[in-house]
Amino acid sequence: MDNLTHTLTGLVLSRAGLNRFSTHAPLVLMLSANVPDIDIVALTGGALNYFQDHRGITHSIAALPAMAILPVLVVLAVTRSTKGWKSAYLLSLIGVASHLLLDWTNAYGIRLLLPFSGEWFHADLNSVIDIWLWCVLLLALIGPLLGRLVSSEIGAKPGSGRGLAIFALVFFLTYDFGRYLLHQRAVESLNSRIYNGVAPTRVGAFPEAVSPIRWVAWADTPHTATRFDVNVLLPFDPSSGTEFFKPDPAPAMEAARQTGPFRAMQNFALYPLWSLSPADQPEGATRVELRDERFPFAATAIVDRSNRVLRSWFHY
């Protein structure tokens, strides 16, 4: 998920009751809910380097205890006191775990088992940015502030915001369960149809940022991949999609596979889609592209007629 969602989740966890265990709970939980994204330092090595490292070892279960130390060290440095560090560390573990859980719910996925396995885990429930979650989390943030203003005007005791924080967490769980049911419905609709006279070899449905009932869906057959915009409240029309033909294996594809950008895409792409087309230059060259059906980034190579890779690159 995006860092605003992670930050607000840490704050809501604190207000929901975890602030009873440490005076620095809000800061610890907000920092720890974001700390796995420290892998952004990989951007210093370029876009491809970041693409390879993002949601890698810093997002794994094995690294969770070590990642939880960093927010505690920051808080100890700011407060210049080691008092309550054990409680702060336990809260930090919760914050880091919340980050891993939220990232698992979206379509991008997470490599939870590194360094032992590079397998991607993804629930395909939420977009990386989900507007509905933003609204509820911001309500839990702003609600108590408005309540204090009203209380100061009428002379009443201001609320702690715990009720709204608990509501936000309950909404989170209910919302994701609802999205799970809608996702299952979309997948079942895709699986129950025939495409070009054959059953699909694989289908996938991926969330939009705005509408929970609309999904970007793909149905793969041995020779085609078809993209659909699915509204789970309407009958599914298998003829309404945009069809892409899969190229037959070719020497140019095999040459491109050996390059760094293509190796990175092959490690990431759970729904790979290859394309071959004539390149503008040089004469007789082939443009090879590999992307994932879920996201708008790709690896591209220019391969000459002798199947030598002239150039390959990763791009968004």
Q: Tens of pLDDT along 126-168?
A: 999 999 999 999 999 998 766 555 455 455 455 568 899 999 9
- The separation between the first and the last C-alpha atoms of the chain, rounded to the nearest angstrom, is 18
| The model's pTM | 0.90
Reduce the DSSP state of residue 170 to 3 states and report it.
Answer: helix
pLDDT at residue 260 in the model: 95
- In three-state secondary structure terms, 101 is helix
Q: Strand locations in the chain, DSSP E?
A: 202-207, 214-220, 224-231, 242-245, 272-278, 286-292, 298-303, 309-315
3-state class of 312 per DSSP?
A: strand
232: left (phi over 0), alpha (psi -120 to 50) or beta: alpha
Mean per-residue pLDDT for 110-123? 95
Query: What separation in angstroms does the CA of 83 have from each of 25, 93, 146, 233?
Result: 13, 18, 33, 55
Residue 153: per-residue pLDDT: 47
Neighbours of 151 (CB within 10 A): 14
Share of the chain above pLDDT 70, in %: 95
User: What's the confidence (pLDDT) of residue 209?
Assistant: 79
Q: Return all residues near 30 (Cβ < 8 A) that are at least 6 apart.
A: 7, 10, 11, 14, 95
Count Cβ atoms within 10 A of the Cβ of residue 61 and give its class: 0-12 exposed, 13-18 middle, 19 or more buried: middle
Counted residue by residue, the chain has a size of 316
Q: Give the per-residue pLDDT at 159.
A: 54
Choice among 71-85, 92-106, 177-191 with the minimum mean pLDDT: 71-85
Mean pLDDT within 86-94: 96
Residues 6+ apart with CB under 8 A from 138: 8
Task: Provide the pLDDT for residue 148.
Answer: 56
